[in-house]
Amino acid sequence: MSVIQALDIGLALLVLAVAGWTIAAREAFASVVGYVAYGLLLSLVWVRLFAVDVALTEAAIGSGVTGVLLISAVVRLRKTEAPAAAERPGVVLRALAAALCTVVAAALAAVVLLMPDPGATLAPEAGQHLGELGVGNPITAVLIAYRSFDTMLEKVVLILAVIGVWSLASDGNWGGVAGPRRGARPEGALAFLAQLLPPLGIVVAIHIVWVGANEPGGAFQGGAILAAMALIVLMARLTEAPEIRRRWLRLALIAGPAVFLVVGIAGFAIPGSFLAYPAGWAKPLILLIEAFMTLSIAATLPMLVIGPPDRPPS
């Protein structure tokens, strides 16, 4: 067994151990810590699988937005944690749940084990047309060109999610502010970090979006890092989130899908079909769409994490 095989097997066992621990933990806080660690190990696994785009997404979402979201859920659930833990379902229900989980796990394992070798792939076709699009990263080509309709709908789903969260606001708070209040005296070290980190984060995010055309990276990863920067400023209580009735906030939320849709409809007129890019214009249009999608993702994710407005508009 070579060193790299030993490393891969060790990594896989670690991921399994941390995953098992996260499920078995009885305390919500402890299982969130386990889950954050699991996400970090998973991004290492993606790098070992040469799926660096996915590793970047896991790193940006898993260690930024997801951790904060889960912790705020734990804080909100703290009052009900003890009664919920005391309540144990009956034997029959637990046996049924175990049986269902086993069936799902066995089906997934069967699908993985029964895959044809070598697997069916469209990778050569995807690689063939990269030149016409002017992008070097096949992942970006798939997301923004070959199956751009899916990508656009995914961004619409994010907006629907924000509408769903906002709809939980009470009537009096509609249009108001969500998230932590501005602190009278922010904690020194945290305030320092929250002032120093965002400029660096913005540079890294722009770098990741920009190289996304040719190297691993892209709008979602960059947007997730920007969203994390917004969250650290909110967590340090340096400022409050904008009121949700603000026009600029709503424009930022819809900018990405809107630009995508406009380019798509323009495709009817010039090349002749929805979401088709005119020859020679693919690269600039892809960059335009990516830029606005980054903005929308950066605005959407923090609004999802901080939840519905809990104070009325001023």
Q: Does 304 bind another protein (CB under 8 A)?
A: no
Single residue of 60, 169, 255, 299 touching another protein by CB under 8 A: 60
d(CA 193, CA 253): 27
Which residue, 244, 232, 221, 152, is CA-closest to 196? 232
DSSP state for residue 1 in the 8-state scheme:
-
Among positions 147, 181, 182, 246, the unique one binding another protein when judged by CB under 8 A = 181
- Binding part of the chain for another protein, among 64-72, 98-106, 123-131, 159-167 by CB under 8 A, reads 64-72
The region, left, alpha or beta by phi > 0 then psi within -120 to 50, assigned to residue 236 is: alpha
| DSSP string covering 182-219 | PPSS--HHHHHHHHHHHHHHHHHHHHHHHHTTTSS--H
- 16 part of the interface to another protein, by CB under 8 A: no
Min separation Cβ 3 and another protein, Å = 5
Which C-beta is closer to another protein: that of 192 or that of 268?
192
Half-sphere CA count of 17, side-chain side, radius 13 A: 7
CA 283/CA 291 separation, integer angstroms: 12
Q: How far is the CB of 164 from another protein (least distance, A)?
A: 23
Out of 12, 75, 85, 115, which residue is the one contacting another protein (CB under 8 A)? 75
Asked if 252 contacts 162 with a C-beta cutoff of 8 angstroms, the reply is no
Tokens of 19: 């995953």
Give the footprint of another protein on this chain (CB under 8 A). Answer: 2-4, 6-7, 10-11, 14, 17-18, 21, 25, 29-30, 32-34, 36-37, 40-41, 43-44, 47-48, 50, 52-53, 55-56, 59-60, 63-64, 67-68, 71-72, 74-75, 181, 183-185, 187-190, 192-193, 196-197, 200-201, 204, 207-208, 211, 215-217, 221, 225, 228, 231-232, 235
